[in-house]
Amino acid sequence: MGDFTSTAASWLQTLVVSSAALAVGLLGILYVYQEKLLYFPSMPGVSKLTTENPEGYRHPNEYGIDYEDVFIPCADGIKIHAWLMKQPQPTTVPTIVFFHGNAGSSSISLVAGLIVENTFLSISAMVDQVMPWLSYVKPVVLRLDWSNEGRIPTLTHPILFVAGERDELVPHTHMQKLHALATKSIRRQWLPIPRGTHNDSWMRGGLDYFFALKRFIDSAVGESTPPSSDTANTSERHQEDGASIVSSDEADDGLDHSHIPNMLDQHSLLFQRPGKMHHDEM
């Protein structure tokens, strides 16, 4: 009996030590390789080089857009490949810096406005959502946080919040809270996409989506100069500007979802210079 008890205790001790070592090892891996869980420079089934893309996705010149290949050096020695798409009269139109996100980016001048689409409050809040079992050890292993909820309240320029109401990755409440936190923005605008999920809100919104973005960009560029005392007094009036995409569960958005969607299909409508876009005619 004594030998059995001793053996059982030894096995239990080994099990506890092994489990603890495994847990520490897994947390260590999570700490060291955290970036690999957040950034996906390549994805299965997706071309790694633009030359391997389907026709219409290889370069802007396929749509008659003048562009330049730009390589941006980073502190870690990596060079980011970007496209600088040029306008015939670049001094008369705004420059849009488009970041493609963490999977599958170019930067920085003075920002006139910010467009936030289907974004989370923070990495910490997302851990609570998708890995709740890690919530208790976040202070130990979480090095990256991206606290948007901490930054948004400090921003004063116009902000457009584009929120897909069926986002399956980032809870819709995250965007709602970010919008509520943008109290210093001279104009915060809420653009809900009724059937939009995390990656297809631009498609679900149809042309109305792009017109809403264009209206915001045009107005943000006009507001980019420092506000006078008169404009400061009107900030409360501008703060709750809203927009909407006309859509419903039963609505037909007029899009063919049988092929890969391409926003540049609307080249003739979306890439006109300001002053030549006539929304009322649509």
The pLDDT tens digits of the residues spanning 116-139 come to: 999 999 988 988 888 888 888 888
Query: How much is the pLDDT for 184?
Result: 94
Q: Is the dihedral of CA 196, 199, 201, 206 positive or negative?
A: negative
Cα distances (Å, whole numbers) of residue 237 to 159, 184, 220, 228:
14, 12, 15, 15
111-282: what fold?
Answer: Rossmann fold (3.40.50)
Query: How much is the pLDDT for 136?
Result: 83
Q: Residue 194 above 70 pLDDT?
A: yes
Task: Enumerate the H helices of the chain as residue ranges.
Answer: 2-32, 34-38, 123-130, 138-141, 148-151, 172-181, 201-204, 206-222, 229-233, 235-239, 267-270
Output DSSP code: residue 40.
Answer: B
Which two three-digit tokens encode residue 58?
Answer: 């290889």
| pTM listed for this prediction | 0.53
